[in-house]
Structure 1
Amino acid sequence: MLLLESIVSTINSILWDYILIVALVGTGIIISIRLGFPQIRHFTWGAKKVFGGVFKKGENREGSMSSFQALATAVAAQIGTGNIAGVATAITLGGPGAVFWMWVSAFFGMSTIFVEATLAQKYRETTKNGQLVGGPAYYIKNGLGSKSLASFFAVSIILALGFIGNMVQSNSIADVVSRAFSIPQLGIGVIIAFFAALIFIGGMKRIASFTETIVPIMAMIYIIGSILILILFRQNIILTLKAIFIGAFSSKSILGGAAGVGMQQAIRYGVARGLFSNEAGMGSTPNSHAVADVEHPAEQGLSAMIAVCIDTMLVCTATTLIILTTGAQNLGAEGAGVTQEAFNLAFGPIGQKFLAICLTFFAFTTIIGWYYFGENNIRFLFKGKKAIRIYQVIVLIFIILGSFQKVDLVWSLADMFNGIMVIPNLIGVLFLFKESKAILKDYDSQILRGEKLHYKYEYENNELKDYQK
């Protein structure tokens, strides 16, 4: 076991300390320049579409999600324990300046997710039952013409998110709820699995309905709680912002925490935690963006950019500010415990329970989102409902096991498979982003001419043909 832990740790160090951070940020920079910074030029339109979708309840085609439902499912997966524990870890190890680099990674990641989402839209297919499916496996197969690389990605995401990832999300819920409410962790795991099963068996329609309802409420409650803390500690806000910007380029320590960590550490932990949180370039969220019922792929691409903004610029920033304004990073806690200390300092014991509830919803919605991403790739690898049912049972078993197991190694394995699945996805993104550039150009020209948005989805019958062979 120790040998396995050592091997996994070495692989993760190589992947996340060197290769993937450079590859993901570098890809974001290249795409931003080549696409003319769509995260700036089209931000307002994307925001209007996303926030307007909260109140718009129109009918979408059978076998699809509305644009907002697809985005809510993506955000459900993005907003998880990383927004609470990951941000705290970045501050503890990288200092306040790490937050600045988290913002930078998110800014360039918005362009990357635009490409992922538009490619997922362009190359999506339709199942025998009329359900839309898509994502990196599909644009790697249809765009690059490599079924083997696509299958490698599909297996990686099923292992990383569907199985191992959901195991650790369950553990996060069980751990924090058990400490806050003194409930046995196994019992919590069974409860999580029960409610997850109710959503799983309802298919895409129930998943979409759940995420579009819960995600906005979940995020709003956490933001309101954070705002209340900032009001209580408002005298420290200016000093906190100063610490973030000075710490990003200097080893000088302000507000305590990781004294003298230096710019390199701030960049390393800020970028890494940011990428883990918003998942831009990792190939996960395109699985939901692919099935959005929109008139043009660029519409969902622009909406996807806002999801990254919500995750990092809004929720992660809220966590950052409450930790630094309260000084919770100096109390010796680790991970989610740092954020928990911030709520304790502001609200006392009730703060711990509040965060436990928030973390429960964050992690549970991540379970739902990650399950769906895995299911989408099960459909890519296997035909028929039997494979889906087997997958559902395995996921539920992992959820229960994860609730009471010590999962340090499992976390490391999840990180490793997350890293592995990034590689084929980035290959697809880098070789195909010119397709997204053409899609954006077509979208802009239609808008300028005042035309009704339209697009021909030429690959939607591929899966149906496979079934008929």
Structure 2
Amino acid sequence: MNDASVLPVLAALNDFVWGWFLVVLLLGTHLFLTFRLGFIQRRLFQGIRLSFSRDGGRGQISPFGAFATALGGTVGTGNISGVATALVAGGPGAIFWMWIGGFFGIASRYAEAVLAVRYRHVDEAGERIGGPMFVLRKGLHSPFLAIAFAFFTVLSALGSGNAVQANSIALLADDTFGIPTYISGLVVAGLTAIVIFRGIRGIAVVSELIVPLMSAVYIAGCLYLLWILRDHVPDAILRIVQSAFQGEAAAGCFAGAGVKEALRYGSARGLFSNEAGQGSAPMAAAAARTPNAVHQGLVQASTVFWDTIILCALTGIVLVAAGDWLNQSDGMLLSMTAFKRIPHFGPELLNLCLYPFAFTTILGWSYYGEVAAEFLWGRGSIFWYRVAAVATAWIGAVVTLDAVWIVSDLTTGLMALPNLLAMLLLSNQVKRETDRFIDRVEESDETLP
């Protein structure tokens, strides 16, 4: 069966999974948890401050290490080509729904992190691991949903976590520097192997070094572009907001599809970017040395702020203000065209940012995948999963897959379904933990097992 025959099947399956049910469930969960937890977003700056707090409790990595790993796992092509793809497919209104989903998604990220720490597990090696699969098994007593989530996590880690990122790196290196994709693939695979075979501690160390620096560089580049495009920025912001409610056909779409496509693609790409509600980042939270679940929940919630409210917002405004989305259908090339407006080194700056962004995403998702593999097949499977992760990074770089974004949307949606269910049904537990620790989270000496 060739790619041409598989693509319609995957597209139809993706349309079914990402129908109105999942969109409503995702945004509805964000809204429900926002109000159920007393608008936890108001604690956002406390979470940012706690990101740099001292270690406490038991775990493998520091709270900041868990923060950097989770942010590294989310800040990748979703912030660059993912935003561009949402713009092309759903019009400017998709950017607005990405912001809305990100803002309210802070509550979901907080809740899933709290549950992950509360239900984390000590494995055969004495390491603390966790995530929605343990929440589903121990909290909801649903082995079937736990296994399903872990299985979809493995697929998503190897696909959107590894192959998508490696593919973006290879295409940009080829387009900008003329480096053959197989060489880029070998470099990415080699660097991935060096880090992930050191485990979560190695991943956290690399993420702590790379993620803050590259985020600052990318933000500076976007701000410079906004200065260059300053005459178009007000109209771009207005167009984004208006298109979210009035509709505006995207490139290649027929008139009238605007609002529906904006909401759908904004929600899907927003989830791919910040992963709030998907259940991936809580696996990093579960490995943190944290005094209590609420402490790490606030830390992890701040990753959505940096990812969507800051990075995706800047990218979206730049792309709409530049105006190239009306004539360009390729997300990565659209981003590249916008950055070419920076004199002398624009494309090189985008490459400089994308490579480490995508690389840290590969690292973060490699850890998520190995936690899921250990849950499914035991600790002995970790070595073989790491081998598969390295191989997938190379394959993703050298193989052109028209279905790559469809598969990414599909696997993220299939992960989100059981995780959202767990958060809704266990929201009372999150509320109790929040009420217990929220007012003394910074000085509490209590630890969780």
- TM-score (structure 1 length as normaliser): 0.89
**Counterpart contact for 1:163–1:394, Cα < 8 Å:** no
Distance in 1 of aligned mates of 2:96 and 2:6: 35
Listed as ranges, the matches of 1:3-18 within 5 Å are: 3-18=5-20
Distance in 1 of aligned mates of 2:44 and 2:59: 29
Distance in 1 of aligned mates of 2:395 and 2:247: 42
**Counterpart contact for 1:124–1:138, Cα < 8 Å:** yes
SS in 2 for 1:345: coil
**Counterpart contact for 2:58–2:290, Cα < 8 Å:** no
SS in 1 for 2:137: helix
Structure 1 residues 352 and 6: CA distance shift in structure 2, 3 A: same
Deviations 1:233-265 (A, max 9, x none): 2222222222222222223689xx998654333
Give ranges in structure 1 of 5+ residues lacking alignment.
Answer: 461-469
- For 1:231, the aligned partner's letter is W
**Counterpart contact for 2:90–2:249, Cα < 8 Å:** no
Task: Give 2:353's match in structure 1, choosing from 349, 353, 358.
Answer: 358
**Percent of aligned pairs with the same amino acid:** 36
Deviations 1:313-341 (A, max 9, x none): 11101111221222232342421111111
Task: Give 1:294's match in structure 2, choosing from 282, 287, 290.
Answer: 290
- 1:345 maps to 341
Shift of 1:299: 1.2
Shift of 1:19: 2.5
Instruction: Verify: 1:383 aligned to 2:383, yes or no.
Output: no
SS in 2 for 1:234: coil
Task: Give 2:402's match in structure 1, choosing from 391, 402, 408.
Answer: 408
Task: Give 1:102's match in structure 2, choosing from 84, 98, 104.
Answer: 98
- 2:119 maps to 123
**Counterpart contact for 1:177–1:360, Cα < 8 Å:** no
Distance in 2 of aligned mates of 1:152 and 1:46: 31
Distance in 2 of aligned mates of 1:341 and 1:377: 38
- 1:192 maps to 188
**Counterpart contact for 2:74–2:307, Cα < 8 Å:** yes
Segment of structure 1 superposing worse, 102-111 or 163-172: 163-172
Shift of 1:133: 0.3
Shift of 1:3: 4.3
Deviations 1:93-122 (A, max 9, x none): 322222221111111211111110000010
Instruction: Verify: 1:396 aligned to 2:390, yes or no.
Output: yes
Structure 1 residues 259 and 240: CA distance shift in structure 2, 3 A: farther
SS in 2 for 1:64: coil
Structure 1 residues 262 and 395: CA distance shift in structure 2, 3 A: closer
Deviations 1:189-228 (A, max 9, x none): 0110111111011111111101111100111111111111
- For 1:317, the aligned partner's letter is A
Aligned length in residues: 447
Structure 1 residues 228 and 90: CA distance shift in structure 2, 3 A: same
- 2:46 maps to 45
Shift of 1:445: 5.0
- For 2:435, the aligned partner's letter is K
Instruction: Verify: 1:431 aligned to 2:425, yes or no.
Output: yes
Segment of structure 1 superposing worse, 155-164 or 198-207: 155-164
- 1:440 maps to 434
Shift of 1:300: 1.2
Task: Give 2:274's match in structure 1, choosing from 271, 278, 290.
Answer: 278
Shift of 1:366: 0.7
SS in 2 for 1:408: coil
Structure 1 residues 247 and 109: CA distance shift in structure 2, 3 A: same
Structure 1 residues 413 and 269: CA distance shift in structure 2, 3 A: closer
- For 1:416, the aligned partner's letter is L
Distance in 1 of aligned mates of 2:14 and 2:371: 26
RMSD (Å), alpha carbons:
2.4
Distance in 1 of aligned mates of 2:240 and 2:154: 37
Distance in 2 of aligned mates of 1:183 and 1:61: 46
Structure 1 residues 309 and 445: CA distance shift in structure 2, 3 A: closer
**Counterpart contact for 2:247–2:259, Cα < 8 Å:** yes
Shift of 1:47: 2.4
Listed as ranges, the matches of 1:166-245 within 5 Å are: 166-245=162-241
SS in 1 for 2:400: coil
SS in 2 for 1:23: helix
Listed as ranges, the matches of 1:15-26 within 5 Å are: 15-26=17-28
Structure 1 residues 163 and 332: CA distance shift in structure 2, 3 A: closer
- For 1:33, the aligned partner's letter is F
SS in 2 for 1:248: helix
- For 1:239, the aligned partner's letter is D
**Counterpart contact for 2:59–2:290, Cα < 8 Å:** no
Segment of structure 1 superposing worse, 334-343 or 11-20: 11-20
Listed as ranges, the matches of 1:56-67 within 5 Å are: 58=54, 63-67=59-63
- For 2:68, the aligned partner's letter is A
